[in-house]
Amino acid sequence: MSDIHRNLLADAAPRTHLPEDPAAADLAERGPEAFGDVLRAHPESSLCWALLAEGALNAGTPDADVAAYAYARTGYHRGLDALRRAGWKGSGPVPWEHEPNRGFLRALWALTVAAQRIDDTAEFERCAQFLRDSSETGYAELSAARPLQGG
């Protein structure tokens, strides 16, 4: 497919904007010491699950990488549910520039990183491509903040 066709198709796809995540406001208001309470109050929050995954990835141990994979997968699936409710049809841009989208995109990147660390190559490749297809800006921001191993 030529670049012209690719750009035309990308421009035609509607951009999905998730609604505000109430957990984000709760975390900002109540602080990190209330994280568990905020997560229990908002288990649908991709942002909360992404934060758990990122914390586990920071530990850098094999067991923590498995935990990160599970946390990130939960955030990813909660995000897919939210995207569908927002009108997403399985493809199209999910802009990083829209702040409420970032919880989902962070969970997707954490799942990418965790999949690479536990040698789930097919999931790693699928998630990395999904993030690029959803938001090149998100991919650039997240991969700069948490580079892949060997990358």
Per-residue DSSP letters for 66-134? HHHHHHHHHHHHHHHHHHHHTT--S-S---TTSGGGHHHHHHHHHHHHHHHHTT-HHHHHHHHHHHHHH
Q: Residue 132: what pLDDT? A: 97
Confidence of residue 5 (pLDDT cuts 50, 70, 90): very low
Confidence of residue 94 (pLDDT cuts 50, 70, 90): very high
Confidence of residue 11 (pLDDT cuts 50, 70, 90): low
Average pLDDT over residues 125-135: 97
Residue 26 one-letter amino acid: D
Q: Residue 8: what pLDDT? A: 44
Question: Using CA atoms, how far apart are residues 109 and 132, in angstroms rounded to an integer?
Answer: 10
Tell which wins on pLDDT, 6 or 62.
62
CA dihedral 109, 111, 119, 56 (to 10 degrees): 100
With vertex at residue 93, the alpha carbon angle to CA 132 and CA 146, rounded to the nearest 5 degrees, is 35
Q: Residue 2: what pLDDT? A: 41
